[in-house]
Structure 1
Amino acid sequence: MRYDEFLAQVRDRGEYADQEEAAKVSEAVLGVLAGRIIPAEAKDLAAQLPAPLDAKVTAAAGERPESYGVEEFCRRVAERAGGHERTAQWDAGAVLTTVADLVSPGELDQLLGQLPADYAVLFGRSGPTG
């Protein structure tokens, strides 16, 4: 999937005004996600994302993942995107369901395996795909 196609899907799912808003939200969500998973997993995820999102994920990966739940994840997304905490779960879902459609089932299982079970809903799933 090309970058513009990724953003078009995020824009449609999130009902954003334009590609620019979809890009801002995508970078925020993926940046927060990259800090939440182990660096090797962030690298694997980045390998399946279109440029420039791949580089954003790689750059946002920390040495050690932080551990926090969905509520804190969404708070961080809102802070990074300059949005509202009330809509951050919607934003995360728009991006992460697009990611779930893009990456391989094995990669999605690895991502979900790194996160508490309640994160699956953000990816449009009820749990691991396998």
Structure 2
Amino acid sequence: MQYDEFIGEVQHRAQLDSREAALSATRATLETLSERIQPGEAENLGAQLPGEIGRHLEKVDDVDRFDFQEFVGRVTEREGLGEKDREDAVYRAMVVVEVVDEAVTEGAIDDIKEQLPDDYDDLFDLQEAEQTAGPDPG
């Protein structure tokens, strides 16, 4: 998947009004995720994404053990959103993870999910719904 396609998918699926908003959501989600997962896993995932996207996963050398609510707070803050917009930030992060899952090798997102506690399950809801739905019969 190329950079323009990736950002376009995030913008479309999250119903954002600009590519800049899609890039902001992508950057905020991936930079925050990179703080929470093992650096090697972050780099492996980033290497499978377009360079402009993957670089957001390569900024951290240490793992910071924070829960999902802290993850959401960090994403919200990085996007420049207010506290009242936390649900929107969660949804956009879910969309970013879904698009990442489609852009990388099969199972790469599962490797990331295995590193996170159960309270992060909501982050993977869209991605899992796609996997269980299977191909469109229409």
Residue aligning to 2:135: none
Checking the alignment, whether the CA contact within 8 Å between 2:25 and 2:89 is kept in structure 1 is: no
Q: CA deviation at 1:53?
A: 1.2
Q: Distance in 1 between matches of 2:65 and 2:108?
A: 20
1:89 corresponds to 2:87: no
Residue aligning to 1:12: 12
Residue aligning to 1:74: 72
List per-residue Cα deviations over 1:92-116 (Å, max 9, x = no partner). 1121111122222231121111111
Unaligned runs of 5+ in 1: none
Checking the alignment, whether the CA contact within 8 Å between 1:97 and 1:122 is kept in structure 2 is: no
Q: Distance in 2 between matches of 1:47 and 1:24?
A: 20
User: Which structure's CA Rg is the greater one?
Assistant: 2
List per-residue Cα deviations over 1:12-38 (Å, max 9, x = no partner). 111000111101110011000011101
4+ residue segments displaced more than 2 Å: 117-121, 123-126
Name the TM-score, length of structure 2 as normaliser.
0.83
Task: Classify 1:32/1:115 alpha carbon distance in 2 versus 1 (closer, same or farther; 3 Å).
Answer: same
Q: Distance in 1 between matches of 2:99 and 2:119?
A: 18
1:115 corresponds to 2:92: no
- Count of paired positions: 126
One-letter code aligned to 2:27? E
Q: Root-mean-square deviation (CA), in Å?
A: 1.8
List per-residue Cα deviations over 1:33-71 (Å, max 9, x = no partner). 011101101110111111211122112x2x221112221
Residue aligning to 2:33: 33
SS of the equivalent of 1:105 reads coil
Q: Distance in 2 between matches of 1:100 and 1:119?
A: 16
Residue aligning to 1:45: 45
